[in-house]
Structure 1
Amino acid sequence: MKSNRFALFYMSVPLLLWCMSSLHARAQRTQKPPLHGKHWMAITGKPLAATAGAQLFQQGGNAVDAACAMLAATCTMWDVLSWGGETQALIYHPKLKKVIGISALGVAPKGATAEFFKEKGYDFPPEYGPLAAVTPGTPGGLCHMLAEYGTKSLKDVLAPAMEMAKGYPIDAQTANSIERGKDWIKQWPYSKRVFLVHEGQEREAPHAGEIFVQEDLLRTLQKMVEAEQRALAAGKNRKAAIMAAFDRFYRGDIAEEFVRGSQEQGGLITKNDLANWKPVEEEPLHITYKGVEVYKLQEWTQGPVMLQALQMLKQVDLSGMGYNSALYIHTLYQVMNLAFADRDFYYGDPHFTPRAPIEGLLSEQYAKARVATINPNRNNPTVMPGDPYPFEGKVNPYHNLLRERERLVLPTTEKKENFVPKHDAASTVVPKRKRIYERVASISVDSVYMDRLWRGTTSVEAADAEGWVVSITPSGGWLPACIAGRTGVGMSQRLQSFVLDSLLNPFNTLEPGKRPRVTLTPTLALKNGKPFLSFAVQGGDTQDQNLLQFFLNVVEFGMKPQEASEAANINSNQLWLSLGGTKITDRKPREGSLLLHKQTSKEVVERLQEMGYTIQFGERTSGPINAIYFDERHGTLWGGSSNNGEDYGIGW
C-alpha cells in the first residue's frame, strides 16, 4: 500500500506546474557563456590549468594528454589539492568503445591501525598533518593514464606545470587559503618554507598576483622527466620510459626524501608502503536511466550513491512534480538519504574482505523496496541502511550490527548521550552501549560544518574529436598541507575518511594497505553507445548530490550544461560526513537539515517546513560543476563550467 500511495500522490501534481517550472528552467540565462567546440574541450578548476590542457591539444595531443596536463597544473597551483593527493578517473576509449576506471588512491600505511588512533583519543583519524596521510596517488595515476592511453611524453605533459613551479602569479583564492591556514602551516617546517614567503609580516602568505616559486617541487618534477628521458635514450619505448619516472617517484630518490620528510614530522609512511603501491584499473559500475548509461567508479568511492538514487527515481514521475517544487525537493532529499544511509554502512575498498553487496545495492528490486518506505508527506529523520543481501541471493552477515544501530536511534524525548565507538576495542569491555545516533536537530549547521560538507577538490574534463573522453576528480594534499621534506609535495589528508569502529561501517574500517572510502566521484554517461555527458564537481559529501541534480536538469528538464551547472541545488545534511573533525559529534547526521538557494519561493519553503525540514539558505548550493555534452546531431561539443568558483574551460 505504501508504494501505491506514494505513486498516486506524485501523479496528482498538476501538469500546469510542470509546464511553468520547466519552461522557466529552460529559459534561464546563464552568468557564464556556454562553451562550444568542434575539435576539443578542456575544462578544470583554474584558468591557467585549462590553458595547460589547451596547449597539449594544440600540440596534437589527445584528451588524455590534455587531462594529464591539467591535472599536473592544478596540483602545482594547489587548487584544493596537491601532488601528494589522489586521482580518480573515468576514460572513454573510442577504439574499444568502453569506459575504463582508474583508481589512483593511496592506501593506509603499515602503521595506521584503528588501535593506533584510538589510543591517541581519536574517533576518526586526524584531518591535517602527517598522520592524516595515505600514500600519494596522483603522480602514479598520471603516469599510468599517460602511458596507457595518452600519446605525448611526460616531458611534454609536465612542461606547463614545471613552468609554473619556476614561478607563476598566484591567484587570490589560493593565496588567501595560505594566509587562513598559516597557524597550521607554521607547525611543519617544509610547508612554512614554501608558503610563508613574508614570514613575520602582518600577511605572511603571498599576495594575489605575486610570483609564487616552488623550487623543491620543480626539482621533483625535473627528476621524473630525467628518468623518462634517460629511459628513452637507453632504447625504452614511450610507455616504459614514463613508467621509469613512476619508479623514481615511488622507489627511487624521490621516495626516499618523501619518506624521510614524512617520518621526521611524525608520519607513518614507509619506503615499502610507497614501493608496494600502484594504480588499479577497474570495470566501472553503471545503470541505465531513461536510455542513458551512467558510469561510476566502484564502491571505494561514493559514486554508486548516484546510481542507487537513479534506480529509485525510476519509480516516480519526476518531471511531473515541477522543477524544484516542494514535492520534487522532498523526493530528492528522501531518495538521497536512503542512498547515503547505505553508503555510510556498506561502501568500502572492494579489494578487501568483506566486499560490499554492490549487486544488491544497485538492483531495481532493491530500489523499489527502498522507495516504498518513503512517506510522501514527511521527512524520515532516522533513515537506516537497508538490507541488499537478499537481492543478490545471500543472507546479510551484519544483521546484528544493523539491529544494534536501529536500537540506538532515539526518540526525541529520550535522554541524549554522547557516543564514542568501542565496538572493535580489543582491550575494553563496554557494559552498556552508548548512543551512536544522538539526536542532532539542535546542532546548528555552522560555517565549520559546511566547510567539512563541501571540503574541496577540483575536477578535470577533456574530450576530443577522435572520441576520447576523460572525467577526473582529483583531490588530497589541500591547504593547509604538510609538505614531505624537500620534495615540494603536500601529503594527502584522506586517511580521515576511514572509520575506526565497524558499527559505523564494517567495510570501511581502517586497515594497513586499504583504500579509504572517498567522496570523489567522476561521471561519464553514454547514449546509444556513444558519449553523452562527462561531468564532475568538487565538494566533499555534496558531490553526488550536486551531480544527481545536474544530470536530472539535463535529462528531465532539457537544460544545456551551462544552465544545469548554474541551476539552484539542494543539499541534504542528513548523512555522516566523510571529512573533518575527529569526534563523532563532528560527523553525525543533521536530521532534516536542508540547504536551499536563497531565492527559493516562500510557498516552497513553508511546505518543506511542514514536512519536517529545518531550512538554511545560501547563495552557494553546489560546488563548481564542470561538464561536457556531446551534441550528436551537430557533431559538436558543449562545455559547462559553473559560475561558482574559478573553474574555467577552453574549447576549439
Structure 2
Amino acid sequence: MNAHRRTLYACCLAALAAAAPPVSAQRTAKPVLHGRHWVAITGKPLGATAGAMMFQKGGNAVDAACAMLAAVTTMWDVLSWGGETQALIYDPHTGKVIGIDALGVAPTGATPEFFRSKGMAYPPEYGPLAAVIPGTPGGLMTMLAEYGTLSLKDVLEPAIQMADGYPIEAETANSIERNKERIKQWKYSRAVYLTHPGEKREAPYAGEVFHQSDLAVTLRKLVEAEQQALKTGKSRKDAIAAAYDRFYKGDIAREFVRGVQEEGGLISLEDLAAWKVRVEEPVMTTYRGIEVYKLTHWTQGPAMLQALNILENFDLKGMGFNSARYIHALYQAMNLAFADRDFYYGDPYFPPEEPIAGLLSKQYAKARAQGINWERNDPGVKPGDPYPFMGKVNPYRRLLESWPGVTPATGGGGGGGGGDDRSFEEAFFGGTTSIEAADEQGWV
C-alpha cells in the first residue's frame, strides 16, 4: 500500500473517530455532525473523505462533489462510471441554481424494430443491450470545468487510489455474490468482480483488497490528457475538455466501443461523439415561503414539487408528525403527483411540450388537493387537467377521460413481459446514493 493510499484510509478513520462521541454498546444512532467551513456528505465514508481532501486542497463545494462522485462510482456497487449523473449547483456569485443533465441516452441502433427482431417486447434491464451512453464522466468533467477550481488530476486522485485497490465493504461484496450468476454472462465483468472463480463464494470477501486495474488505467488516461494540454499552454477549462474528448472521441472511446460491441451491444463511436452534457434551468416552487428546486421532468423531479404544492393546502403540523392522517396526506399527495407524471411527463427534448406551468400551478394543486379521499388509500387515482390553469385547452382530453387510472407495467428483467419481478431483497439493494457538498463561500 503506497503512502497516498495509507493517508486516505487514515484520514477516513481519524475523521470517524473524531466525529463519534462516546456511546453505549446498545446505541446505534448516528451522531449529529456540524461544520463551520464546509460539508461533504455521501453514502460511503471513503467517498466523503475524498470530498474532504478537496476542501483541504483549497477547493470549493463543486470540486468536493466531483471527487466524491468519482470515488463512489469507483466503489459503490449500484453506481458506475458507465452510469448517469444529475446535479443541482447553487452559484453564490449569480444567486442562480444550475441544473446538470448528464443522462445517458440510448444508442441510435436501439430502435423498437431492433428489439422486436430479437423477440423482445422491451429492451432488457441488464447487459450490453441495456447500455446507454456513459453520462457520469462527461457530467463530472463539465461540472468541474465550469464551476470548480481544482484540476482533474486532484479530483480523480482518491478514485485512482481506490481503483488500484481498496478494502471492499461487506455490502458491496455481498451484492456481487448475490448477482454472480448474472455477472458470469459477461467475460469482462467476470474478470473484475468474481475474484475467486470456481469457489463456493466467487465474489470478494468483505475487507479484501479489491482491484480494478483497467479502470485505474482509464482514469489515469484522463489525467494524462489534461496534464499534456496544460503543458502546451491550454487553460484549466480547455485542459479538462481535452480529457473529455479523450473519453468520448479518443482512444478510450474506441476501446469502449470495441468491448461493448464484442459483447453484443449497440453503442458506436458516433453515438459517443454526438452525446453532450446539458446545462439547464431547473424547475422551482415555493413551500411555505421556501424555494425548492428540482431538475426537469426527465428526472421526475417536478413530481416532488407537485406533491409539496398539494401538501401546502393542509395543516400538517396540526395533524401531528407521523400520525395516520399525516402519513395519509403525504401518501395521497404523492399518488396525485405520480398520476400526473405517468400521463404527462415525457422527454423534454422532443415534442409534445409538457404542461409544466399548469402542473406546478398553486391553483391546480389546490384543485387536486380537494380530490383526496380521506377515508382510504386511492392508488388508482386518475391524472388531472392542468391546461386550464395555464390558459389552454387540453389536447389530450379524450385520452384523459378514458385513462384507466392504473398505469400498465412496462419494462422487466428480460426480453418480454412486464412488471418488476425482482425480489424484495433485490429491489432493496438496487438503490443509488446521493452526494451533497457546501462551502463557506456559498457554493452548494
TM norm structure 1: 0.61
Structure 1 Cα separation of the partners of residues 297 and 409 of structure 2: 27
Stretches of structure 1 that go unaligned for 5 or more consecutive residues are: 1-28, 411-417, 422-435, 437-442, 470-652
Instruction: Look up the equivalent residue of 1:369 and give its one-letter code.
Output: A
Q: How many residues align?
A: 412
CA shift in 2, pair 1:59/1:419, >3 Å: closer
Are residue 466 (structure 1) and residue 441 (structure 2) matched? yes
The 8 Å contact of residues 45 and 79 in structure 1, kept in 2 or not, is answered as no
1:190-237 CA-partner distances (Å, limit 9, x unpaired): 001111111011111111111111110011001111110111011100
Shift of 1:36: 0.7
CA distance in 2, matches of 1:80, 1:49: 14
Work out whether residues 83 and 139 of structure 1, in 8 Å CA contact, stay in contact via their aligned partners in 2.
Answer: yes
1:448 aligns with 2:402: no
After TM superposition, the structure 1 = structure 2 runs for residues 567-582 of structure 1, keeping only pairs within 5 Å, are: none
Give yes or no for contact 1:123–1:420 (8 Å, CA) kept in 2: no
1:378 is displaced (CA, Å) by 2.2
User: Given the superposition, is the C-alpha separation of residues 70 and 187 from structure 1 closer, same or farther in structure 2, using an over 3 Å criterion?
Assistant: same
Match of 1:373 among 371, 374, 381: 371
Aligned amino acid, residue 269 of structure 1 = I
> Given the superposition, is the C-alpha separation of residues 271 and 148 from structure 1 closer, same or farther in structure 2, using an over 3 Å criterion?
same
Aligned to 1:113: 111
Following superposition, the deviation at residue 452 of structure 1 comes to 3.9
Asked whether the 8 Å contact 1:165–1:213 carries over to 2, the reply is yes
Equivalent residues of 2:186, 2:263 under 8 A apart: yes
Give the 3 Å change call, closer, same or farther, for CA 330–211 of structure 1 in structure 2. Answer: same
Structure-2 separation of matches of 1:351 and 1:389? 20
Structure with the greater relative contact order (CA < 8 A, sep ≥ 6): 1 or 2? 1
Question: Within 1, Cα distance between the matches of 2:249 and 2:70?
Answer: 20
Answer whether contact 1:46 1:79 (CA < 8 A) is retained.
no
- 1:312, 1:364 → 2: CA distance? 8
Q: 1:121 Cα shift?
A: 4.4
Equivalent runs, 1:118-157 vs 2, <5 Å: 118-157=116-155
Separation (CA, whole Å) in 2 of partners of 1:107 and 1:395: 32
Stretch moving more, 234-243 or 388-397: 388-397
Comparing 158-167 and 75-84, the one that deviates more: 75-84
What is the deviation of 1:97? 1.1
Alignment check: 8 A CA contact 2:381 2:406 kept: no
Q: Deviations over 1:313-356 (max 9, x none)?
A: 11111111111111111111111100011112222221111121
Residues of 2 paired with 1:118 and 1:355: CA distance? 28
**Partner residue in 2 for 1:307:** 305
Which residue of the partner structure matches residue 321 of structure 1?
Answer: 319
Give the SS at the match of 2:403. Answer: helix
The CA deviation string for residues 392-423 of structure 1, in whole angstroms up to 9 with x for no partner, is: 122222233323323x869xxxxxxx9999xx
How many Å separate the matches in 1 of 2:136 and 2:361? 33
| Alignment of structure 1 residues 254-333 onto 2, 5 Å | 254-333=252-331
1:30 Cα deviation after fit? 8.2
Aligned 8 A contact 1:86 1:137 in 2: yes
> CA–CA distance in 2 between the matches of 1:386 and 1:115?
33
* Mapped partners of 2:130, 2:409: distance in 1: 23
Calculate percent identity across the aligned residue pairs: 69
The 2-side partners of 1:196 and 1:451 are apart by 19
Q: Is the 8 A contact 2:62 2:143 kept in 1?
A: yes
Structure 2: distance between partners of 1:263 and 1:125: 16
Contact kept in structure 2, 1:45 and 1:458, CA below 8 Å = yes
Matching residue of 2:24? none
SS in structure 1 opposite 2:129?
A: helix
Q: In structure 1, what residue type is equivalent to 2:387?
A: Y
Structure 2: distance between partners of 1:113 and 1:309: 34
Paired residue for 1:54?
Answer: 52
| 2: CA distance, partners of 1:101 / 1:291 | 22
CA–CA distance in structure 2, aligned partners of residues 243 and 139 of structure 1:
11
Q: CA deviation at 1:78?
A: 2.7
Higher mean C-alpha displacement, 124-133 vs 97-106: 124-133
SS in 1 for 2:300: coil
Map 1:612-631 → 2, pairs under 5 A? none
Alpha-carbon distance in structure 2 between the residues aligned to 1:196 and 1:128:
17
Is the 1:75–1:82 contact (alpha carbons within 8 Å) kept by the matching residues of 2? yes
SS in 2 for 1:324: coil
Offset, 1:386: 1.4
| Aligned-residue offset at 1:454 | 7.1
1:605 is aligned to none
Q: Secondary structure at the match of 2:132?
A: coil
**Counterpart Cα distance in 2 of 1:409 and 1:278:** 35
Question: In structure 1, how many angstroms separate the alpha carbons of the residues matched to 2:259 and 2:381?
Answer: 44
Cα distance in 1 for partners of 2:151, 2:46 equals 21
Map 1:217-256 onto structure 2 (within 5 A): 217-256=215-254
Pair 1:405–1:123, CA change in 2 (3 A)? farther
Secondary structure of the residue aligned to 1:204 is: coil
Instruction: Find the aligned partners of 1:218 and 1:84 in 2 and give their Cα distance.
Output: 14
CA contact (8 A) 2:77 2:175 kept: no
More helix by share: 2
- CA distance 1:168–1:401, change in 2 (3 Å): same
Which SS does the other structure have where 1:35 is aligned?
coil
CA deviations on 1:574-629 (whole Å, 9 max, x unpaired) are xxxxxxxxxxxxxxxxxxxxxxxxxxxxxxxxxxxxxxxxxxxxxxxxxxxxxxxx
Distance 2:421 2:259 in 1: 35
Given residue 209 of structure 1, which amino acid in structure 2 is its aligned partner?
A: G
- For the structure 1 residues 420 and 341, does the alpha-carbon distance in structure 2 shift closer, same or farther, using more than 3 Å as the test? closer
Q: Is contact 1:90–1:297 with CA below 8 Å preserved after alignment?
A: yes
CA distance in 2, matches of 1:382, 1:327: 19
Which letter does structure 2 place at the counterpart of 1:238? Answer: R
Mapping 1:392-541, distance limit 5 Å: 392-406=390-404, 448=423, 451-452=426-427, 455-469=430-444
**CA shift in 2, pair 1:356/1:113, >3 Å:** same
Structure 2 residues not aligned, in runs of 5+: 1-26, 412-417
User: Counterpart in 1 of 2:166?
Assistant: 168
- Closer, same or farther: CA 452–346 of 1 in aligned 2, 3 Å: farther
Contact 1:130 1:265 in 2 (8 A): yes
Q: Secondary structure at the match of 1:466?
A: coil
SS of the aligned residue for 1:102 comes to strand
Q: CA deviation at 1:371?
A: 1.1
Task: State the SS of the aligned residue for 1:217.
Answer: helix
Counterpart code for 1:218: A
1:391 aligned to 389, 392, 402, which one?
A: 389
3-state SS of paired residue (1:355): coil
TM-score normalised by length of structure 2: 0.88
What is the identity, as a one-letter code, of the residue corresponding to 1:169? P
Change over 3 Å in CA distance of 1:117–1:353 after alignment to 2? same
Tell me the CA shift for residue 248 of structure 1: 0.2
Q: Read off the aligned partner of 2:341 and give its amino acid letter.
A: R
Going by fraction, where is strand more abundant, 1 or 2?
1
Which residue matches 2:9? none
